[in-house]
Structure 1
Amino acid sequence: MTSSLLGLSIALIYLLGIVSAIMALMSSRTSQGAVAWIISLLTFPYVAVPAYWLFGRPRFYGYVSARGARDSVLRQVLSRYRDNVMPHLAQPGSAEIQAVEQLAMMPLTQGNQAALLIDGEATFASLFAGLAEAQEYILLQFFIIRDDALGRKLQGHLIKAAQRGVRVYFLYDEIGSHALGEGYLRDLEEGGVEVSAFRSSRGFRHRFQLNFRNHRKVAVVDGKKGWVGGLNVGVEYLGQSPRHGAWRDTHLVLEGPSVLGLQEAFWEDWHWATGEVISLGWLPHATSAADHRVVIVPSGPADEQDTASLLVQNLIHSAHERLWLTSPYFVPDQGVQDALRLAAMRGVDVRVMMPERPDHLLVFLSAFAFLPDMLRAGVKIYRYLPGFLHQKIILIDGSAASVGTVNLDNRSFRLNFEITAFVPSVEFATEVSNMLEEDFTRCREVTLEELRQQPLWKKVISRAAYLTSPIQ
């Protein structure tokens, strides 16, 4: 009887492996991901089946459908917002920028000011000053928030704002901020702040959506001023971590109609997390300080398209003279790799800046598997030396640049909710160029000979790590 039960259990596990493999074949967003899951499910079903059901969901179901009966309310608000923005719309001027608008499903606006915030001190000084000026509402969202000196300083600013009558909405990712204690959140709530986690597994129907993250870092004050970029909340982002040392990162502060794009992304995330439709101001406020054109590009696993990957490919193809990219995690999909190599082959100065020291070892090792092909095609690879490089920047020629949260890896392309500010402005691109030129002086260039001389064991481990990149 016991042996029969054991045999039945084994047969059931293998049957589940076959069914799951068929599901992976039909639904995986990349062929590499499908192959990786199918081999795992058919070979090691005891481990792979529960892993697939926990981490293998290809789409973030429910993000749009969660609107349910409120759909008409959301659509009416968005319709009014888009009507208000009409006088501030900018002409794309090129097919590439028009494609960015379509990917974003948001308009390119003019009358904006985009200012770089280089590293943590500048970023949080700007953010805290903005929070102190808030009069109506504050929207704040980070992937990682720590209960340390910086986190408590942020907490104090939010509570002070709430106590003077400002509505404060605080959203954090439940996985990224898993170490954030209940005491920190309770103090915020008792201080009058509306607090919510972004739970990808919210509700019984979505209980297996555990592999998705909300990686966005967004702050909005009164619909007039907004912040977006690479920095989370923790003292390591100020360069105070012994493990990481100096922390190199970039944020962006925006004023003008484009801020409503950041607001819209937060508004929909808050609705998914809480079911609430919060009342916000949707009148654009153009600035006379500058006239940058900006389009906000939210992306994520609920999109019909692979928005982040297509955005990066589009920007690469639009470059004619220069394409400089920075990413802490550089394991792009095949489409992005091919686009980078082709850009270099047609004479574009393609440079990729990455960290010298690893943060996530598997991702770090994966890059060694395809870097030789990049170098042979003419792509230049640089390793940042002073500390950990975390900024996510793309510079196209001398005419446009993007700042956001997207890493050049499969997780950002297909599993994370991300957000990017694309600024097709010569003035802004010049500022980004000057910033990156200084960063390159702190880098070393990787050579093909260096990679060839790596020991065999490291090459084997790198190839094995790279094979897992579609499901990392």
Structure 2
Amino acid sequence: MEIFSANNFILVFQLLYVLTAIGVVIVVISENRNPLKTIAWVLVLLLLPLVGLIFYYFFGEDHRKQRLISRKMHKKINRKTLERIELLETLNPPTEYKGLINLLNKQKDTPLYGGNKITFYTNGIDKFDALFEEIRKAKKYIHLQYYIFMDDVIGNQVKSLLMEKAREGVEVRVLYDDVGSWTAKRKFYKEMAKAGIQVTPFLKVAFPLLTSRVNYRNHRKVVVIDGEVGFMGGMNIADRYINGVNGGVWRDSHFKLEGKAVHALQTSFIIDWYASRSEFLVANKYFPPLTAKGDNLMQIATSGPVGEFKEIHQGIFQAITNAKDYIYIQTPYLIPTDAIMLAIQTAAMSGVDVRIMIPKKSDTTFVNIASQSFIKNFLDTKVKIYFFTGGFIHSKMIIIDDALTITGSANMDVRSFEHNFEIDAFVYNNDTALTAKNIFLDDMESSELVDPEEWDKRPRHRRFFESIFRLFTPLL
């Protein structure tokens, strides 16, 4: 007599599956997320049960109440920086940005630094030439962190140079994102390790530990050399930043930083390094006394999926709502949160000249179609949309009122604001803003302005697909 038939097994499996799905739905609802995101997850779990559970397992967990490192350890690392900053009053910060400066400072002890020099790079050749020059001059240590580190021509050039410096006795640490750099074989990193380089992946993804880690990636691009010079921005390490893409150039923005704010870049790297390797880098040599190199006032803001507040998201929101004259935005992906979209629309309707530049052809079809679903919402409020046609624009930059420049690794999308670990510089300087503004205006020469009437004539099936793809943007 068959005690436990196949039919009984199937029934038990179905019952357990339904109970699991219901349990996950209850968890999602009880997390008190954005209602739209909650509804989206509930629909996915109920309409696509098996796919929904797998999707949630990898991408849906809420980490708002978690921390990358403990508060105690964060304070220890921050103490080195805070010991050397100037009092806010002595820096004479611009009064129109007092609220933004206070907001960022209260979020994560994001101090305002004076005495900084910024050098912009808008192509990979200039950026890597400058990076190689500074690496060759390194005497003590090199801290290098990238979302993508490719095993290609430029990647091997970087690797060879770092190995050369390690053999000279320079401390070299490399932190790469395990998902972003997945195409590079382990041999690529082992060769660096054999040469004396300390190489570590951020949130390594491997069975049986494969969980939602795959969704929360470190998108930062940070280099610190001898604690005196830093680099940050949108460029990773890959040939495409040199050779471009099939449709033209790969237009991106990066900058070299000299001055006191290098300590903030160092702090960001050390926190990520500790989270990945449990090594505490707080020796005085990592925070040398720095003199003024320029006249830029700036804050370096970091944000990620852990913690209750999203610092970069809130900073950009506050900056947009404070704009008086113009807002110029460059972003490769336009999937704004409801708050950012409303802030931009409100600014445009108030008479602020708002221009948004995005690529006409993206490197990601899904995101490109989803991005285009937002264009009409902006056009209806007199926001000017420009399609960059000279290639692919990957630049992440916001310029406001000839006074504020926001640039770094964060895109104008939900993933950057809520899921990725990002880093952005908020620079309060008229000359820097004018330099960034001219970069934007130069890119307009390789762009086409979207005509609202022509945009409304898009085929119905195209608009329908955009709407379908937009449904999934809260989950991106």
Same fold (TM over 0.5): yes
Name which of structure 1's ranges 251-260 and 194-203 shifts more when overlaid on structure 2: 194-203
1:64 paired with 2:65, answer: no
Deviation per CA, 1:143-164: give whole Å up to 9, x if none: 1111111001101111111111
> Which whole-Å CA distance do the structure 2 matches of 1:237 and 1:114 have between them?
20
Selected match of 2:134 from 130, 151, 157? 130
Unaligned runs of 5+ in 1: none
Deviation of residue 96 (structure 1)? 2.6
- Does 2:81 align with 1:81? yes
Contact 2:77 / 2:282 at 8 angstroms: preserved in 1?
no
1:459 aligns with one of 446, 454, 463 = 463
Cα distance, 1:173 vs structure 2: 0.3
* Counterparts of 1:328 and 1:229, CA distance in 2: 13
Structure 1 residues 35-77: Cα deviation after superposition (integer angstroms, max 9, x where no partner): 1100111222121112111110121776435x5xxx7565334
Task: Name the residue aligned to 1:381.
Answer: 385
- The counterpart of 2:274, out of the listed 262, 271, 274, is 271
CA shift in 2, pair 1:265/1:227, >3 Å? same
Which position in structure 2 is the counterpart of 1:339? 343
1:428 aligns with one of 428, 432, 439? 432
For the Cα contact (< 8 Å) 1:384–1:440, is it kept in 2? yes
Q: For residue 291 of structure 2, what is the aligned residue in structure 1?
A: 286
| Amino acid in the other structure paired with 1:174 | D
Q: What is the identity, as a one-letter code, of the residue corresponding to 1:286?
A: T
- Do residues 247 (structure 1) and 267 (structure 2) align? no
Question: What SS does the aligned partner of 2:351 have?
Answer: coil
Whether the 8 Å contact between 1:352 and 1:381 is mirrored in structure 2 is: yes
Q: Give the C-alpha shift of residue 279 in structure 1.
A: 4.1
Instruction: Give the Å deviation of 1:206.
Output: 8.1
The one of 444, 448, 453 equivalent to 2:448 is 444
| Residue of structure 2 in register with 1:470 after alignment | 474
Q: 1:16 aligns with which of 6, 17, 20?
A: 20
Equivalence for 2:58 = 54
Could you tell me how far apart the structure 2 residues matched to 1:72 and 1:409 are?
Answer: 31
* 1:377 counterpart SS class: coil
Structure 1 segment 45-444 matched on structure 2, within 5 A: 45-59=49-63, 63-65=67-69, 67=70, 72=72, 75-86=75-86, 90-92=91-93, 93=95, 94-199=98-203, 207-242=211-246, 244-280=247-283, 281-288=286-293, 290-444=294-448
Size of the alignment, in residue pairs?
Answer: 466
Offset at residue 433 of structure 1 (A): 1.0
- Cα gap change, 1:395 to 1:284, in 2 (>3 Å): farther
CA contact (8 A) 2:77 2:267 kept: no
Contact 1:30 1:470 in 2 (8 A): no
In 2 relative to 1, CA 76–334 (structure 1 residues): closer, same or farther, beyond 3 Å? closer
Unaligned runs of 5+ in 2: none
Cα gap change, 1:83 to 1:151, in 2 (>3 Å): same
Cα distance in 1, alignment partners of residues 54 and 377 from structure 2:
36
Deviates more, 1:392-401 or 1:452-461: 452-461
Q: Which amino acid aligns with 1:55?
A: F
Distance in structure 1 (CA, Å) of the matches to 2:267 and 2:182: 25
Distance (whole Å) between structure 2 residues aligned to residue 321 and residue 328 of structure 1: 24
Q: Which amino acid aligns with 2:83?
A: D
Of 274-283 and 447-456, more deviation after overlay is shown by 274-283
- Letter of the 1:259 partner, please give it: V
Does the 8 Å contact 1:235/1:241 carry over to 2? Answer: no
SS at match of 1:124: helix
Aligned letter for 1:79? Answer: R
C-alpha change, 1:95 and 1:61, in structure 2 (3 Å) is closer
Give the distance between the partners of 2:87 and 2:208, measured in 1 at CA: 44
Give, in angstroms, the shift of residue 312 of structure 1: 1.6
Distance 1:126 1:246 in 2: 19
Measured against aligned partners, the alpha-carbon deviations of 1:84-125 in whole angstroms (never above 9, x if no partner) come to 223687344322332233345310110111121121111111
Answer yes or no: is the 8 Å Cα contact 1:61–1:206 preserved in 2. no
Q: When the two structures are superposed, what TM-score results if normalisation uses the length of structure 2?
A: 0.93
Q: What amino acid maps onto 1:163 in structure 2?
A: R
| Cα distance in 1 for residues equivalent to 2:446 and 2:128 | 24
TM-score (norm 1): 0.94
Give the superposed CA RMSD.
2.0
SS in 1 for 2:455: helix
* Partner SS, residue 386 of structure 2: strand
**% identity of equivalent residues:** 29
Counterpart CA distance in 2 for 1:185 and 1:377 is: 49
Cα distance between partner residues in 2 of 1:318 and 1:248: 28
